[in-house]
A and B are shown apart, each in its own frame.
Chain A
Amino acid sequence: EVQLVQSGAEVKKPGESLKISCKASGYRFTTYWIGWVRQMPGKGLEWMGIIYPDDSDTRYSPSFQGQVSFSADKSINTAYLLWRSLRASDTAIYYCVRHSDGLNYFEFWGQGTLVTVSS
């Protein structure tokens, strides 16, 4: 059974850094792209970008380029979403997703990580 288990909710101050995680199981981690999707409070879904865990090839949505970064650790089947300097506007739920074989859609979703940024 494919599972994506994300790290717990975070409360941070503006300017702080943060790394949240997404641990995959039930499939070969290195052979599927992992993506990240943002959902701001009461809003819709926004695609942030993708990473290929085998070689860490990464593509960012233009809306998120330079604002976040992705990484992956093959040894522990875990993908990460990183911020160097959080802003209040980063407050949202962040989902990791496993892409389908052909990259056309998001086949499996993590449970989401709520990030709250407030002074």
Chain B
Amino acid sequence: EIVLTQSPATLSLSPGERATLSCRASQSVSAYLAWYQQKPGQAPRLVIYDASNRATGIPARFSGSGSGTDFTLTISSLEPEDFAVYYCQQRSDWPPSYTFGQGTKLEIK
């Protein structure tokens, strides 16, 4: 099973700052990497898919990069509504299997 390790566990930043979240896979996942945002009491929401594509309705300040085993989610200038927990997720080939990272909590400093 592929393990995804996210870092840091918690990131404390102020609005307007740049956020960089990391996701490392135990083996190559090609570009099958997605990012989700989850706010308290809400379902997760897709933010980035296939490593670098923004989902519908996601602002341009969100960007994703990486391939193979190392991936990054960047938020260029934090807005108050961006503070949440972010999860990365990968898919293995057929039969399909999916794993999530343990999450990074992005909190207001």
Contacts and interface: CB of A to CB of B under 8 A. Distances in A.
B97 A47 contact: yes
A70 interface: no
Contacts of A95: 43-44
Interface stretch (B13-21, B68-76, B99-107): B99-107
B91 A105 contact: yes
Interface residues of B, number: 22
Contacts of B100: 44-47
Nearest to B99: A47
B34 A109 contact: no
Interface of A: 35, 44-47, 50, 59, 61, 95, 100, 103-112
Interface of B: 32, 34, 36, 43-46, 49-50, 55, 87, 89, 91, 95-103
